[in-house]
């Protein structure tokens, strides 16, 4: 039951994020609550604790990226719901694959837009500043209008599919 709810959550989140660049609070809060309730009903105390651990894991991993300015708050709350529905291991695996997919998408967009050389120069500047001059000013939040932006759900959906496939195979001995 929780896998069906997880698929529904991801589908609606993808649709709203792609159309309006927002993941509504009713969706993330409802997904998190559904995950805790369904896993508690079907798994008892163990299911309830697993949902809570997944919720905390999904939230915590993405909160770090939100604090750095890489993700919006809706993405953080979405991963809390993903963790509540799918569990701690699924939240971690889904986070990994989603971040990998986001990197691939970003690289493709940079190549298509001809901004890869600019990024390489910026990375070299940061590295030299860090190693040679021991300057950490690059880490401070600054004007972010020139940053590459796309809905994170473009990466979350394939990340969740791969994580689900891997999780299903591992849980069924395949």
Write the pLDDT tens digit of every residue in 76-113.
999 999 999 999 999 999 999 999 999 999 888 888 87
**Average pLDDT rounded to a whole number, residues 67-72:** 88
Task: Count the residues in the chain.
Answer: 174
pLDDT at 139 over 60: no
Under 8 Å between Cβ of 114 and 69: no
CA-CA distance, 99 to 107, in Å (whole number)?
Answer: 12
Q: How many domains does the chain have?
A: 1
Q: According to the model, what pLDDT value does residue 172 have?
A: 65
Q: Which residues constitute the domain of residue 123?
A: 2-171
pLDDT band, very low/low/confident/very high, at 128 (cuts 50, 70, 90): confident
User: What percent of the chain has a predicted confidence (pLDDT) above 90?
Assistant: 63
Q: CA 16, 18, 19: angle at the middle one, nearest 5?
A: 65
Q: Is the pLDDT of residue 145 over 50?
A: no
């Amino acid at each position: 039951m929780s896998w069906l709810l997880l698929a529904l959550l991801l589908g609606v989140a993808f649709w709203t994020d792609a159309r309006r660049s927002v993941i509504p609070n009713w969706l993330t809060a409802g997904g998190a609550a559904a995950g805790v309730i369904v896993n508690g009903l079907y798994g008892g105390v163990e299911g309830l604790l697993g949902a809570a651990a997944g919720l905390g894991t999904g939230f915590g991993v993405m909160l770090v990226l939100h604090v750095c300015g890489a993700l919006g708050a809706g993405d953080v709350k979405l991963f809390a719901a993903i963790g509540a529905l799918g569990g701690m291991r699924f939240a971690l695996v889904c986070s990994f694959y989603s971040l990998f997919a986001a990197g691939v998408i970003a690289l493709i967009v940079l190549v298509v837009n001809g901004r890869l050389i600019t990024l390489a120069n910026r990375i070299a500047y940061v590295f030299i500043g860090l190693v040679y001059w021991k300057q950490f000013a690059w880490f401070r939040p600054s004007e972010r209008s020139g940053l590459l932006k796309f809905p994170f759900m473009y990466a979350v959906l394939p990340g969740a599919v791969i994580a689900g496939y891997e999780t299903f195979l591992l849980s069924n001995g395949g």
